[in-house]
Amino acid sequence: MPAEINPQKKNLDDDAVSEVLTSQGSFLNLEETAKSSQKRKKTGGRVRPASQTYDHIIAERKRREQLSQRFVALSTLVPGLKKMDKTSVLGDAISYLKHLQERVKTLEEQTAKQNMESMVFVKRSQLLLEDEGSSDETGGSDEQPLPEIEAKVCNKNVLLRVHCENDRGVLVKILSEVEKLNLAVIHTSVAPFGCLVLDVTLIAEMDKEFNLTMQELVKSLRSALQRVRQGD
């Protein structure tokens, strides 16, 4: 005959089992909570949403694409590239920039030198030494004094001042000669100096074909004025 089970004892056993299960569940919950806490600490205290991670990946991809496009654009500006990797492109670009800087420095020095030597005074005593084969001048005749010419240059503009005899057609001859030398006259001023002398001031702009020095320019004008006097 089976032993009778005491209902009170059965209830006590059920309560004990329930308490054990509850304790185990609480322990598991605590363990999961601890793991979650450690994970949050590793990620800076918060869990990054999946959408935010995706946006970050897309932004990084766009940044790299833009960087690659800029390297390609840079490579088209640098002549003589032999390699197209980023290191070679940057190295050749730096070398090319240094070359351009040296070129600019050289041109600036040439311009400064040209400006320093731009003023030329041509007087009769100088012209006698320069003129070859002029028997009238070397003969010492002072009947027809030669003009005094001054030339200055600033960037692409030339300032000319001519102090000459007031001969017929002298102004037209000066203007014509200036234009023949690839100079475009943009301003002219003429003033009489006494009864027989003219003071002519010209401002002209250099054309692309202009390639004379100021000495050559003055010599050409002087020759033109001599031809005017010989025509008289």
% the chain with pLDDT above 90 = 11
Dist CA 202 CA 220 (whole Å): 15
The answer to whether the beta carbons of residues 120 and 215 sit under 8 Å apart is yes
> Across the chain, what does the average pLDDT equal?
73
Inter-helix orientation angle 214-231/170-180, to 10°? 140
What per-residue confidence (pLDDT) applies to 78?
A: 86
Half-sphere exposure for 230 (CA within 13 Å, toward CB): 9
The answer to whether the beta carbons of residues 157 and 203 sit under 8 Å apart is yes
Dist CA 218 CA 130 (whole Å): 12
Task: Tell me the pLDDT tens digit for each residue of 16-66.
Answer: 545 544 555 554 454 555 555 555 555 555 656 777 888 888 889 998 899
List the strands of the sheet with 183-193, edge to edge. Answer: 120-122, 148-154, 157-165, 197-206, 183-193
pLDDT tier at 142, thresholds 50, 70, 90: very low
Q: Of residues 15 and 174, which shows the higher confidence score?
A: 174
What per-residue confidence (pLDDT) applies to 18?
A: 52
- pLDDT of residue 89 exceeding 70: yes
User: Taking Cα atoms as reference points, which of 158, 193, 192, 195 lies closest to residue 177?
Assistant: 158
Mean pLDDT of the 174-202 span: 88
Q: How far apart are the first and last CA of the chain?
A: 166
* Tokens 């492109």, residue located: 89
Q: Of residues 55 and 131, which shows the higher confidence score?
A: 55
Which helix (H) or strand (E) covers residue 20, if one does? helix 7-42
> Which residues lie across from 151 on neighbouring strands?
120, 160
Mean pLDDT of the 166-189 span: 88
